[in-house]
């Protein structure tokens, strides 16, 4: 991220945020604990951590689906627990979950994507243009006339993402939105997300258990038992020095391969997370062998 972005107001700003399910009851669960975190416009952030570490809870705090039981969350400067901001907060941060079934309501894919726009009173022509664009971005343009209910899980998911994109949010939160997709679908969605960040400054927060996917983010936030256990670049997180296993993580394939080779005596850079770099270094070793 560049320094210019750092100076502006963070898009998402969490200050001393905790969230407790069933607060006050005997079975209360502290899911997020005293989190301070800022996400800036245009960042591509991966959130990782073991099952139950608080990732989804954290995500829901960013668009007022949950309100902090302690601390404050600001979205583009708007405090999420003030009712008057609710609508704008939800429009600013669009969220897509793992299972889109419950989110799909219309009889065609096209209507599904247009649904939210109709409510906004967007002119018909503009609406068609937007629908076209987002369906193309997620690779579902050919299925526009299909019934969402007849689509496969992965196809439904791409429609759900398109529906959120159509609202033109500043931030897209993907809560394991790619975890049910086939590899091609996953790559397509990640590519679209990448494109939206780089080309249009969309902020993407991507919760994932795929370490290869996380390694492609600008920044990784690792949660452990509701707290931030690590926050940094992919190299900071996977490059060594962190006890990944204790946070329930694993290094991505490229790092594991590079470390294996180093352990076997090859002179390679430590803690690589970029496959291009590994390929380059191996080719060099081969030439100088």
Q: Which residues bind ligand ATP (CB under 6 A)?
A: 21-22, 29, 31, 49, 51-57
> What's the rounded Cα separation, in Å, for the pair 120 and 95?
18
Q: What is the largest CA-CA distance in the chain?
A: 67
Closest CB to ligand ATP among residues 71, 139: 71
Q: Verify binding: residue 96, another protein, rule CB under 8 A.
A: no
Q: Verify binding: residue 184, another protein, rule CB under 8 A.
A: yes
Can you read off the two tokens belonging to residue 52? 């139950």
Report the run of H or E that residue 161 belongs to, with start and end: helix 153-166
Smallest separation (angstroms) from another protein to the CB of 14: 19
Segment contacting another protein by CB under 8 A, of 7-15, 82-90, 172-180, 235-243: 172-180
Smallest separation (angstroms) from ligand ATP to the CB of 245: 16
Coil, strand or helix: which one is 63? coil
Cβ atoms of 230 and 247 within 8 Å: the answer is yes
Closest CB to Mg ion among residues 52, 240: 52
Smallest separation (angstroms) from another protein to the CB of 63: 17
> What's the rounded Cα separation, in Å, for the pair 144 and 132?
9
Residue 21 contacts by C-beta under 8 Å, 6 or more apart in sequence? 28, 29, 31, 57
Residues at the contact surface with Mg ion, assessed by CB under 5 A: 56
Closest CB to another protein among residues 41, 158: 158
Alpha helices (runs of H) in the chain, residue ranges in sequence order:
3-7, 55-61, 86-92, 109-120, 124-137, 153-166, 183-200, 211-214, 234-238, 253-263, 275-287
Smallest separation (angstroms) from another protein to the CB of 126: 29
Report the run of H or E that residue 164 belongs to, with start and end: helix 153-166
Q: Which does 239 bind (CB under 5 to 8 A by kind): ligand ATP, another protein, Mg ion, none?
A: none
> What's the rounded Cα separation, in Å, for the pair 229 and 246?
10
Q: Verify binding: residue 155, another protein, rule CB under 8 A.
A: yes
Closest CB to another protein among residues 3, 287: 287
> What's the rounded Cα separation, in Å, for the pair 12 and 15?
10
Positive or negative: CA dihedral 56, 254, 192, 11: positive
| Residue among 1, 15, 52, 67 that touches another protein (CB under 8 A) | 52
Smallest separation (angstroms) from another protein to the CB of 256: 5
Smallest separation (angstroms) from another protein to the CB of 95: 14
Smallest separation (angstroms) from Mg ion to the CB of 8: 29
**Count of other CB atoms within 10 angstroms of residue 83:** 7
Q: Verify binding: residue 185, another protein, rule CB under 8 A.
A: yes
Closest CB to another protein among residues 141, 257: 257
C-alpha 38, offset from chain centre = 15
Q: Verify binding: residue 212, another protein, rule CB under 8 A.
A: yes
Smallest separation (angstroms) from Mg ion to the CB of 122: 32
**Which residues are near another protein by CB under 8 A?**
21-22, 27, 29, 49-53, 55-56, 98-99, 101, 147, 150-155, 175-176, 179-185, 187, 209, 211-212, 245, 248-250, 252-254, 256-257, 260-261, 264, 266, 275-276, 278-280, 282-283, 285-287, 289
């Amino acid at each position: 991220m560049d320094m210019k972005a750092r100076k502006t107001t963070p898009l998402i700003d969490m200050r001393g945020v905790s969230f407790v399910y069933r607060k006050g009851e005997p079975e209360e669960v502290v899911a997020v604990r005293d989190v301070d975190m800022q996400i800036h416009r245009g960042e591509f952030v991966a959130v990782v951590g073991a099952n139950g570490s608080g990732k989804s809870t954290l995500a829901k705090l960013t668009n007022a689906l949950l309100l902090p039981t302690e601390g404050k969350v600001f979205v583009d400067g708007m405090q999420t627990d003030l009712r008057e901001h609710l609508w704008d907060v939800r429009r600013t941060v669009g969220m897509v979950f793992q299972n889109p079934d419950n989110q799909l309501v219309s009889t065609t894919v096209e209507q599904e994507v247009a649904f939210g726009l109709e409510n906004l009173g967007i002119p018909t022509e503009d609406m068609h243009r937007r629908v076209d664009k987002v369906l193309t971005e997620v690779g579902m343009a050919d299925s526009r006339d299909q019934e969402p209910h007849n689509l496969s899980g992965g196809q439904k998911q791409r429609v759900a993402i398109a529906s959120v994109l159509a609202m033109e949010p500043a931030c897209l939160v993907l809560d394991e939105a790619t975890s049910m997709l086939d590899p091609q679908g996953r790559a397509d969605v990640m590519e679209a997300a990448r494109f939206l960040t780089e080309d249009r400054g969309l902020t993407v927060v991507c919760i994932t258990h795929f370490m290869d996917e996380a390694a492609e983010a600008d920044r990784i936030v690792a949660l452990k038992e509701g707290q931030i256990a690590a926050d940094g670049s992919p190299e900071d997180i996977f490059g060594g020095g962190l006890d990944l296993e204790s946070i329930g993580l694993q290094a991505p394939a490229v790092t594991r391969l590079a470390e294996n080779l180093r352990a076997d005596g090859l002179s390679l850079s430590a803690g690589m997370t970029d496959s291009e770099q590994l390929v380059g270094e191996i080719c060099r070793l081969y030439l100088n062998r």
